[in-house]
A and B are shown apart, each in its own frame.
Chain A
Amino acid sequence: GIQVEQSPPDLILQEGANSTLRCNFSDSVNNLQWFHQNPWGQLINLFYIPSGTKQNGRLSATTVATERYSLLYISSSQTTDSGVYFCAVERGPGNQFYFGTGTSLTVIP
């Protein structure tokens, strides 16, 4: 299968700081998603981003498919941003999903 690596594994930020999370993948993919799992375990899809850049409020993501990486930017972080951020890639045939090990983010007031 495809390898998906995320960095850093852990991140502690002061509220208001900016951060960049990285996802590297080992082969070409059909699609890429970013998810956030809050401290209560709920998973939320943040972005579908096979290539290019997307923005949603304080979050934005960029995927450079030719270089096999994606970046998730969090600006002006808030305590509600705490949780684990997962990157998942989708690869055919059969559109299987492969997850990274996640980046655990803690935002301190």
Chain B
Amino acid sequence: DSGVTQTPKHLITATGQRVTLRCSPRSGDLSVYWYQQSLDQGLQFLIQYYNGEERAKGNILERFSAQQFPDLHSELNLSSLELGDSALYFCASSLRLAGSQETQYFGPGTRLLVL
């Protein structure tokens, strides 16, 4: 158990809908990262937050948004869902900013299926 929790574990929804994925980092970790893993795109970095502020942005679509709250949990919002958004969404946390050789600890992921 990495100490990072993600909810829900599974999510099935329809095209055009909106969903929210939640991540609680390890106790004391200030950085949260979101990743998407799909069969055709592989693993992709979406976005990173540090202590409530956005610090790095990767291949995150405009239909997607994220935030980190004062209690450091983070939410990833996916809207106007398309079939191609079906994927495993991972959250990871680390103590400090990337680049400081801090290990990232991954949650178990949320598996999203868009029908």
Contact = CB atoms under 8 A, between A and B. Distances in A.
B97 interface: yes
Contact of B48 (A48, A95, A99): A95
Interface of A: 30-31, 33, 41-45, 48, 50, 86, 88, 90, 92, 94-99, 101-102
Q: Provide the main secondary structure of the chain A interface.
A: strand
A96 B88 contact: no
B57 A96 contact: yes
B99 A41 contact: no
B104 A45 contact: yes
Given A41-B108, A95-B55, A97-B33, 14 more contacts: A30-B99, A42-B106, A43-B92, A44-B2, A44-B106, A45-B104, A45-B105, A45-B106, A50-B101, A94-B57, A95-B48, A95-B98, A97-B98, A102-B43
B45 interface: yes
Contact of A41 (B42, B55, B109): B109
Interface string B37-50: 00000111100100
Interface in B49-101: 55-58, 88, 90, 92, 97-99, 101
Interface of B: 2, 33, 35, 42-45, 48, 55-58, 88, 90, 92, 97-99, 101-106, 108-109
Contacts of B98: 31, 90, 95, 97
A105 to B, nearest CB: 16
B58 A96 contact: yes
